[in-house]
A = this chain, B = another copy of it.
Amino acid sequence: MSLRNGMWVCVLLLLQVAASAAAKVRHYKWEVEYMYASPDCIENVVMGINGQFPGPTIRAQVGDTVVVALTNKLSTEGVVIHWHGIRQKGTPWADGTASISQCAINPGETFNYSFQVDKAGTYFYHGHYGMQRSAGLYGSLIVELEDGKRERFHYDGEINLVLSDWWHQSSHHQELALSSKPFRWIGEPQSLLINGRGQFNCSMAGGMINSTLPKCRFRGNEQCAPQIQHVLPNKTYRLRIASSTALASLNLAIQNHKMVVVEADGNYVTPFTVEDIDIYSGESYSVLLTTDQDPSKNYWIAIGVRGRKPFTPQALTILNYHPTSASRLPSSPPPVSPLWNDYQRSQSFAQQLYALMGSPSPPATFHRRLVLLNTQNLINGFTKWAINNVSLTLPTTPYLGSIKYKLQNAFDTRSPPDNFPAEYDVMKPPANPTSVTGSGVYMFEMNQVVDVILQNANVLNASSSEIHPWHLHGHDFWVLGYGQGKFDPKRDEEKLNLKNPPMKNTAVIFPYGWTALRFVADNPGVWAFHCHIEPHLHMGMGVIFAEGVDQVGHIPPEAITCGLTGKMLVTTNTTVH
């Protein structure tokens, strides 16, 4: 070996060492527990982590392994946490979905979530058992680029916002209401929250001036006072925004400032400038904000409800320009949210999203297409949501184990239908609102290219159709297009964007509309695909996808020691009797 060659080997070795040194294992010890909090100035009980609400922020770098030792300190309830947007390649048991990827963690027990974060972006985490997300179990998960790698856009600082909605009724009572006959709707949220802070029904909350209401509390040490976002003039900030709402579709605007959208659901998009952004439950965005306004003032950042008739005041946070005092309130009222039912506007926002050049393109054709009709139904007098006439009821035994070990009777072995009857009129209430409950699975062959056409329809009441943001676990999908009415392959196929569609993990269907998605079933595991509105999922609005489960590695026994997999693991034991 010449000296010169030897040096090259050396350099390569050093590079490898540097790379492996950079990828860290980040350990977290979390305890989930109920705690008192006043998210909207009204004292209530939230599900917190290590005494914090929202939970602690995770920050990691691409290639890192995140290890969360999650201890359940609740008294009688199980718990899991889903890492929303993380694909869990090779670790499908860490997806944190009760009944799907794992058994709920029992009180007193600790489960180790260990997974690699392989893509930079803005993510979040939340409970995925019953309606524990509504109870307050959520927080931020941010994946930065590796050391030395530069982002595709410049920014000087970050502001991190987790958006949510809040009810005064406990999530247990909400679950009961939604499962009752007759059905009791939980109503619109009492408050919206930004980083866990909002204000219930006060005067001067979002310009809703009403002198009979108590005054909003904008100063002082109240838990519910708007957070102050400190900025320097003439800099660029990256706002990371994730929506963990249970129900509300939101619009976010910053007084006097435009925003440049650069990332959606952990994927780069072609930058575009907007006055405000729509954000649906399950979505995340990064937007760039330039602090080019009068630095002697402060400015509202406001979120308001879209897509449902709003009965909830805006939530606020304050953009505080240095050296202006943080306690100085903005001089004019917060930006007014766009009309809740201006769906045209919502669609045009959604249609501005394109993948950044160089992003992966979708395969040109699909192997299998599911057309999933979203309907509201009645089953034995219970109000449910159904997909192709099947309302999802989760089994007791997590699918991941029961499919891998080919257990009998763990779930409905018949797959739900790939399509719905051609004569179904999506513009009218269901002619026959009866549907069935089921726990069947859509099974894909490994690396199949799957198209999903999400087809919206009229609900039980005439002249009404609702927004549903659908979230896919374990994958990103390409959003090929949106349309109105019933999807018609002959007419609509050619309009699909196969060139530069954005990749996302959550996409909305608009009232009476359809949304076309494509993804590659390349991640061995069992994955939920569901409406991210938590009450809707509770009412059955989801389906289960599975692929390559035979290729899934050794599932940690603690993930499946319940139900029939628990029995299986125990009865094969012969030494202790």
Contacts and interface: CB of A to CB of B under 8 A. Distances in A.
A135 to B, nearest CB: 9
A563 interface: yes
Contact of A77 (B45, B77, B568): B77
A51 B130 CA distance: 20
Contacts of A132: 76
Contact of A176 (B34, B104, B571): B34
A557 B561 CA distance: 12
Interface stretch (A106-114, A291-299, A334-342, A520-528): A106-114
B561 A561 contact: yes
A557 to B, nearest CB: 5
Given A132-B76, A172-B170, A569-B570, A562 B106 contact: yes
A78 interface: yes
A536 to B, nearest CB: 15
A36 interface: yes
Nearest to A34: B176
Interface string A176-207: 10001000000000000000000000000000
Given A106-B396, A570-B570, A576-B569, A34 B172 contact: yes
Interface in A527-577: 554, 557-558, 561-563, 566-577
A57 to B, nearest CB: 25
A569 B557 CA distance: 11
A311 interface: no
A233 interface: no
A212 interface: no
Interface string A361-405: 000000000000000000000000000000000011000000001
Given A172-B34, A570-B557, A577-B554, A395 B45 contact: no
Nearest to A566: B561
A77 B75 CA distance: 9
A129 interface: yes
A45 B573 contact: no
A173 interface: yes
A31 interface: no
B104 A180 contact: no
A129 B576 contact: no
Given A106-B396, A557-B567, A557-B570, 11 more contacts: A75-B131, A76-B78, A76-B79, A77-B77, A107-B396, A108-B395, A172-B172, A405-B576, A558-B567, A570-B573, A572-B573
27 contacts: A34-B172, A34-B175, A35-B176, A36-B180, A45-B172, A45-B176, A75-B172, A76-B104, A76-B130, A76-B132, A78-B106, A104-B106, A104-B107, A106-B396, A107-B396, A108-B395, A108-B396, A108-B563, A172-B172, A554-B577, A557-B567, A561-B566, A566-B566, A568-B576, A569-B570, A572-B574, A572-B576
